[in-house]
Amino acid sequence: MTTKIFVALVVVCCTGLSYAQNRPNQFRGQQRVEQFKKLRMIEALKLDEDTSVRFFAKYNKHEDVMREINKQRDDLIDQLQEVRKSNSDGAGMEKIFTDLGVLDIKQAEERHRFLDDMKTALSTQQIADFVIFERNFARNLRQLMQEMAQERRQGQR
């Protein structure tokens, strides 16, 4: 069963990567990975239909908040890059560093709020399974992407 899931992940990622050169299609690839992730989450957490609906309502809200924080972070880093290129004084950079620190705190608080909120939808064991699943899914996805990039580089030689 695990092999089938891994092969499905590879197919989803390969499809997503093949579209990555075209921005609108890159979004489609990301959506496929997210859909696959959600299906795997349902399996890993052994969610029934009712629990699944409650969990994903909370999860989707959390993901939206995290996406917004990450967008703000990217915007600040873009600003930092511009300030750095302009060789201006350090005051502008210090302000951006402070703002980045505030966003890091917001991100940690949101993660804590979400995990606390999960207690109303999942058992303690399911929350633990979720935390473990997220870490392992991200690791596996990163490793898969690295392997695919390495294969592409070897193919170009």
Residue pair 146/13 in contact (Cβ under 8 Å)? The answer is no
Res 62 pLDDT > 90: yes
The first and second tokens of residue 11, run together, are 């197919």
The pTM for the full model equals: 0.74
Q: What is the pLDDT of residues 23-46, one digit of tens each?
A: 566 778 889 999 999 999 999 999
Res 18 pLDDT > 60: no
Q: What is the pLDDT of residues 86-142, one digit of tens each?
A: 887 788 899 999 999 999 999 999 999 999 999 999 999 999 999 999 999 999 999
Residues 107 and 123: their CA atoms lie apart, in Å, by 24
Which residues touch 29 (CB under 8 Å, ≥6 apart)?
15, 16, 17, 18, 19, 20
Amino acid in the structure at residue 142? R
Lowest mean pLDDT: which of 21-25, 50-54, 81-85, 108-112? Answer: 21-25
Rounding to the nearest 10 degrees, give the CA dihedral for residues 142, 145, 146, 149: -160
User: What is the average per-residue pLDDT within 5-15?
Assistant: 41
Question: Beta-carbon neighbour count of residue 47 at 10 Å?
Answer: 19
